[in-house]
Structure 1
Amino acid sequence: MVGMPMGGLGGGAGGTRPGNSQKDKEWLQDHPVSLRRIAELFRPHLRTVIFVMLLIVASSLIGLAQPFIIRELIDVAIPEQNVKLLLALAGGLVLIALVNAVLGVVQTWRATLMGQKVMHRLRTGLFTHLQKQSLGFFTNARSGEVQSRLTNDVGQMQSVITNSATSIASNLTTVVATACAMVAISWQLSLISLVVLPPAIILAKQTAKLRRKITGARQREMSTLTSIIEERLSISGVRLAKVMGTGTLDAEQFTDSSSKLIDLEMRSALAGRWRMAAMSIIFAGVPAILYIVAGLPVTGDGMSIGTLVAFTGLQAGIFRPVMGLMSISIQWVSALALFSRVFEFLDADQALPVPNQPRRLAHDAVRGEVEFKNVDFRYPGARANTLRGINLKLEPGTMTAVVGATGSGKSTLGSLVPRLLDPSSGTVSLDGVELRQVQPQDIADVVSVVAQESYLLHASVRENLLWAAPNADEQQLWNALEAAQIAELIRSLPEGIDTQVGQRGHRFSGGEQQRLAIARTMLRQPKVLVLDEATSALDTVTEALVQQALDELALGRTTLLIAHRLSTVLRADKIVVLDEGQIIESGTFEELVKLDGKFARLVNNSELAQQRS
């Protein structure tokens, strides 16, 4: 079968998720993202954004009342044995905790709901957009890249929205409010506390940088390990390993990668521990300095115990949000990189655009006339056209076979009928309506393809059939299986039609998979059928069974038969010979044999000559 080196996405699918801040920066240099476009995602949720920000500010301000209450407790209520004030202040501490807890729950609820709605909009928009891409888009995309952006990148954006954004707002509000409260309590002690901030910030940045470097290496090695698992433990991978005898080598590669992960995990766990220990000593030393200052006659004159305790509590609480703000740049770059990667796929041009007002085709009204007019096709990046000047009409209810050497353009021609590709020039029409103008769903409803390699869902036989016709009843399912020459086999299985087909259908043989795919196609009742070398990979006995099923399927339908074995073209009403993308001969079997041209030579050199003699 002729392979289809589809083009589509011009170099846009490179690489996996950036592993660290430096790679995020490099990505953004090549793929800048508009802040206005990101803001547009949140425009429908502007009220929620404002509400969440107000909750954050309120929570921070309410929390700052705690040290002032503690100061009053220590300096006034307890020394004076003022029970009424004591109970009021103690109740105030409990009330602050209660209010902040409620605000925290409401904030998390609204922020998470907003984030989920934004992600839902992005996820569904991206999925729908990707469905409209040509096969070339997915051919050029690296393995797993589409799934990674749709699940991993969008999923990580949820964390950015609901955690990072609210964390930045909360930390900023807390730092400003706490600093003001510290100055209000004692500006002298505030100056002393500020002295330790620079070394703490420097140590924190060095630690973060070291950890990012190790984390990047760990993510890359984890990606390698995951790749080994996916490739070696798939059905095809296990089969290949057993046939090639590479099981020991595969195990050694997995062991080596796993051993590297041990080292990286240890380095990650210990990264910056000495620096963090130094920071802990600095943090512990600040209260000690404050106590000394408060205890000296020169500096501590007039400072109450309550003031010292309240200030110490504020000082201890300001370092965490300060450190959080230090990581804003990293979070910001990572967030922009995530948005950029998703937007890149959303911005990918559709190779198969849909008109604003597409033509609709009613299934029952379609006759099935397909016509190619002056069709040329060239794959992106190719030096020459794969198809050149194709003029061909498929009459309703007839079978047209396309034959030719490998690379002549047979499969490309077949891909134009269900509009898996669009011609570079010229038109392909169905019942006189150009396919570019037809609603894609209508094309799928009336045109079906049976290819050499069938694809079955990892589900039951019933679910695979219902995937094509969700409203089909039990009798219709069995009728399709009967027509596809596989009903008897399905009945003989312990679970019958509810038997699981396995990954990619490996529970069944190649011929059985093909017949199940034919049964599924029958349920769609297509008006136009493309048979793309559907029996070329089968043995003679299996081919005969599949051919029976195909004959039943093609009965009364406009059929384009792409033939690898010339024996399959005997039943065709018309035969077209392709050579280097051009139709060089066309006619009935007998007409082409009498012509004594390319087709006649193909016949004489094939097993068909023996069958006819």
Structure 2
Amino acid sequence: MSTPATGMDTTVSDAQTSATSGKQTQTSGQRGIIAWLLARTKGVRPMWTLSVSSRVINQLLMVAILVMAAGACLGAPLVPAMAWIAGLSLVKAVFRYLEHYAGHWVAFTMLAWLRTEFYDAIVPQAPAVVKGHAAAELSERATRDIDRIEVFFAHTIPPMIAAILVPTASITWVGFHLGWSYALVMAISAVFMIAGPALGRLLSWQDNRDLAATNAQIATHLGDSIQGLREVLGFGAEEQRLAQWEQAEAHAETIRRRVRRRAAVRAAFLMAIELATLAALVGVVGAGDVQSALLACAAWVALWAPLRGVDDFVDGLDEALASAERVRAAIDAPPQVVDAVDASAPEVDPTAPTVSVSHVSFSYDGATDVLSDVSFEITDATWTYIVGVSGGGKSTVAALLARGWDPREGRITYRGVDIRRLRLDDLRSRVSLVVQRPSLLSASLRGNLTLSAPNATDESLWEALDLVSLGEWARSHADGLDQAITLDGSNISGGQIQRLAIARALVAMPDVLILDEAMSQLDEATAREVRSRIRLARPDLTVVEISHQVDRIDEDARVLVIDAGHLVEEGLASDLLRNEDGYLSRLARRV
């Protein structure tokens, strides 16, 4: 959970100060985002064309209907005029339906593709992707941000094209049939009605970027507060968290009010132009040509909808592009680890150490090393403990062994082969990592266990459950393997969640199992029972357990002590504990 005193304050400040730096590149930035979105539309362009052309025809028919209605009022034969109006209205309804159907088909198809691309992009970025982004913030990008992009696909391109083609065609008709003086007045007004909202976007773009960032941080804050509810209540931080949330909401509302004020000004500006243009068209009347003026007024009124189309999508477009920018940043972010060009399934050396870490240094930020020149070996079919104080680098070692990141210096080998030469899928099928706070799916018990091995048999699932002392518990439930597990295991205990995660890893039959504080919520008797059962059932399994519970380590176990990013001690626990001034002894005295 983010630190209560700083998380939201920093966010609001960042959102407030980003306006200055962002204005310099906003135009090129918007063009780049639009180009990025358009590049993904190749498969939907025929339907998009149908939507655009249907909108143009629909609005041209509206112009024709209003002009015919005005002509009927001025003395044209009523019955034929009404027949034409009725027929054109039916045709107009068909094209309006096609416009909305095709437009929303394009939008929702593109949103589905974007979500798929988003997921495909963040999978290879894991686990590094959650180092700088809270899960709630990533969910905000995958859901609400992508939803907001719908405006771009459904409500931007068709109105923009129609706002140019429909007035152009209509004003040209007015010029040829009613007089070019009327056409000139309408053309000038149309330019102002298109240009006004378009120029207004230059003011609202940065606001919408800040609003998107603030909304994401609000989602992160709420997600952190819910996930860490026990800590918030335990430390009496409810009021502080609420105050931070209210501060962020107040900042978001300030931006919304600014955007709404600009929208109101634009609306008043457009209405003034519409009414002034009507007055100007009447004023153009010459030689008593009232009929032409009224027909021109009817055509002008019919153009209000297509011309206002630009203003209608301005704020939504800015919000859509701001959200697209955030989605694009996640999709285009380079993975921390990738398969090497020559990655393969090389022959491993069965006589080599299962895992060898040689002179490894690593930094998350590229500046400060969290591991420095660490070297050790893990031999086959052993249970090795890595211990140390919090923040010393133990979990970083675990992540590097599973290749969540690559070391800055040095190398890590699996049975003699540099793990960077192994395909990621191959490596992670051999090396399984179970973290302290694992995630469970909202699915059945079977669905959670088979995540690591979709084709696993029920027999292997029951075996894994028995190894973690959950077999009896699962069998006591009427639905057995089909019993429901709620999201993140909220209907079971923390210890059961950890044991289910270990069982899930065991189902995959890994060669190396890394337990990163994966038994921290188990009582000592249960933890010993789980370790004993795994040793007996999987004697060839190599286990690396990261733990702070030094008092639970067997005396004959091998121990590595990591402190401040350095390997400071290693050996059998019994030997290390004889040195009262040693690191392990000092850790034991803290327990």
The one of 363, 385, 407 equivalent to 1:378 is: 363
Equivalence for 1:481: 465
DSSP 3-state at the match of 1:468: coil
The correspondence for 2:504, drawn from 520, 523, 530, is 520
Q: 1:185 deviation in Å?
A: 3.5
| Contact map agreement 1:172 1:325 (CA 8 A) in 2 | no
Deviations 1:39-91 (A, max 9, x none): 43234555555554444444444544435644665667528xxxxxx44x544
- Note the C-alpha offset of 1:411: 2.6
Report the residue type matching 1:441 in the other structure.
D
C-alpha contact (below 8 Å) 2:66/2:302 kept by paired residues? no
Deviation string 1:401-427 (CA, Å, 9 cap, x unpaired) is 334455543332222221112122222
2:384 counterpart of 1:400:
yes
Residue equivalent to 1:432: 416
Q: 1:173-188 maps to which residues of 2 (within 5 A)?
A: 173-187=165-179, 188=181
Does the Cα contact within 8 Å between 1:377 and 1:387 map onto a contact in 2?
Answer: yes
1:534 is paired with a residue of what secondary structure?
coil
The aligned residue for residue 39 of structure 2 is 40
Deviations 1:164-187 (A, max 9, x none): 111111111122122222223422
Whether 2:123 is the aligned partner of 1:125: answer no
Partner of 2:26: 28
User: In the superposition, relative to structure 1, how do residues 210 and 133 fare at CA in structure 2: closer, same or farther (>3 Å)?
Assistant: closer
Residue 572 of structure 2 corresponds to residue 560 of structure 1? no
- For the residues of structure 2 that align with 1:561 and 1:30, how far apart are their CA atoms? 50
CA distance in 2, matches of 1:405, 1:51: 64
- Whether 1:343 and 2:328 are equivalent positions in the alignment is yes
Q: Which residue of 2 aligns with 1:170?
A: 162
Taking structure 1 as the reference length, the TM-score comes to 0.75
- Residue 140 of structure 1 deviates from its aligned partner by 1.7
Q: Partner of 1:9 in structure 2? A: none
Partner of 1:411: 395
Cα distance in 1 for residues equivalent to 2:400 and 2:261: 59
Please give the alpha-carbon distance, in whole angstroms, between the structure 1 residues aligned to 2:471 and 2:297: 80
Q: How has the CA–CA distance of structure 1 residues 608 and 28 changed in structure 2, closer, same or farther, with 3 Å as cutoff? A: closer
- Which residue identity is paired with 1:42? T
Matches of 1:346 and 1:383 in 2, distance apart? 27
Residue identity in the other structure for 2:504? R
Q: How far apart are 1:316 and its partner, in Å? A: 0.9
User: In the alignment, is the contact (CA less than 8 A) between 1:20 and 1:212 conserved in 2?
Assistant: no
CA distance in structure 2 between the aligned counterparts of 1:217 and 1:29, rounded to whole angstroms:
16
Matched, 1:301 2:300: no
Q: Residue 375 of structure 1: CA displacement?
A: 2.7
**Whole-angstrom CA distance in 2 between matches of 1:442 and 1:267:** 53
Deviation at 1:151, TM superposition (A): 2.5
The 8 Å contact of residues 563 and 569 in structure 1, kept in 2 or not, is answered as no
Contact 1:71 1:310 in 2 (8 A): yes
- Separation of aligned partners in 1, 2:587 and 2:228: 35
Structure 1 residues 508-517 or 40-49, which shifts more?
Answer: 40-49
Deviation at 1:160, TM superposition (A): 0.5
Question: Which residue in 1 is equivalent to 2:133?
Answer: 141
SS in 2 for 1:98: helix
Question: Once the two structures are superposed, what CA deviation does each residue of 1:14-43 show, in whole Å capped at 9, x if it has no partner?
Answer: 999999999975673795753654443234
1:110 to 91, 94, 102: 102
The yes-or-no answer on 1:153 pairing with 2:138 is: no
Contact 2:282 2:294 survives alignment (8 Å): no
User: Residues 295-328 of structure 1, C-alpha deviation per residue, up to 9 Å, x if partnerless?
Assistant: xxxx353554xx4553232121223333334577
- Cα deviation, residue 529, structure 1: 0.9
Larger CA deviation: 558-567 vs 497-506: 497-506
1:278 positional shift: 8.5
Q: What is the one-letter code of the residue matched to 2:359?
A: N
- Residues 221-257 of structure 1 show CA distances to partners (whole Å, capped at 9, x for unaligned) of 977876675455x2632x3454445667777888899
Indicate whether 1:321 and 2:306 are aligned: yes
Answer yes or no: is the 8 Å Cα contact 1:64–1:181 preserved in 2. no
Contact 1:529 1:554 in 2 (8 A): no
Seen in structure 2, the aligned counterparts of structure 1 residues 267 and 73 have a Cα distance that, compared at 3 Å, is same
* 1:427-466 CA-partner distances (Å, limit 9, x unpaired): 2222333211222222222211233333333444333223
**Matched-pair contact (CA < 8 Å) for 1:377–1:423:** yes
Instruction: Name the counterpart of 1:443.
Output: 427
Answer with 1 or 2: which has the greater Rg: 1
- The AA in structure 2 aligned to 1:28 is Q
Q: Percent identity between the aligned chains?
A: 21
Deviates more, 1:40-49 or 1:101-110: 40-49
> Measured at CA, do residues 409 and 76 of structure 1 come closer, stay the same or move farther in structure 2, by a change above 3 Å?
closer
Secondary structure in 1 aligned to 2:515? strand
- CA shift, 1:113, in A, is 3.3
- 8 Å CA contact retained: 1:465, 1:519: yes
SS of residue paired to 1:377: strand
Letter of the 2:26 counterpart: L
Q: Write the distance in 1 (CA, Å) between the matches of 2:216 and 2:321.
A: 22
CA distance in 2, matches of 1:360, 1:302: 87
d(CA) in 1 for partners of 2:272, 2:547:
79
Q: Quote the Cα distance in structure 1 between the aligned partners of 2:30 and 2:461.
A: 52
Paired residues of 1:359 and 1:437 also in contact (CA < 8 A): yes
Task: Count the aligned residue pairs.
Answer: 579
Where 1:529 maps in the other structure, the secondary structure is strand
SS of 1:354 mapped into structure 2: coil
Q: Distance in 2 between matches of 1:385 and 1:190?
A: 72
Deviation at 1:119, TM superposition (A): 3.6
C-alpha distance in structure 1 between counterparts of 2:199 and 2:38, whole Å: 32
RCO higher in structure (CA 8 A, sep ≥6):
1
Shift of residue 128 of structure 1? 1.4
Deviation larger for 419-428 or 336-345: 336-345
Q: Contact 2:431/2:510 (CA < 8 Å) preserved in 1?
A: yes
Q: Look up the SS of the partner of 1:135 in the other structure.
A: coil
Q: Is the 8 A contact 1:27 1:337 kept in 2?
A: no
User: d(CA) in 2 for partners of 1:16 and 1:104?
Assistant: 44
Deviation at residue 360 of structure 1 after TM alignment? 3.4
When normalised by structure 2's length, the TM-score is 0.78
Secondary structure of the equivalent of 1:448? strand
2:227, 2:356 → 1: CA distance? 42
SS at match of 1:144: helix
CA deviation after TM superposition for structure 1 residue 485, in Å: 0.9
Change (3 A) 1:458 1:545: farther
Q: Is the 8 A contact 2:464 2:503 kept in 1?
A: yes
* Superposed displacement of residue 526, structure 1: 1.3
Per mean C-alpha deviation after superposition, the further-off stretch among 550-559 and 413-422 is: 550-559
Which segment drifts farther, 372-381 or 476-485? 372-381
3-state DSSP class of the match of 2:296?
helix
Match of 2:4 in 1: none
Secondary structure class of the residue paired with 1:482: helix
| Contact 1:361/1:442 (<8 A) preserved | no
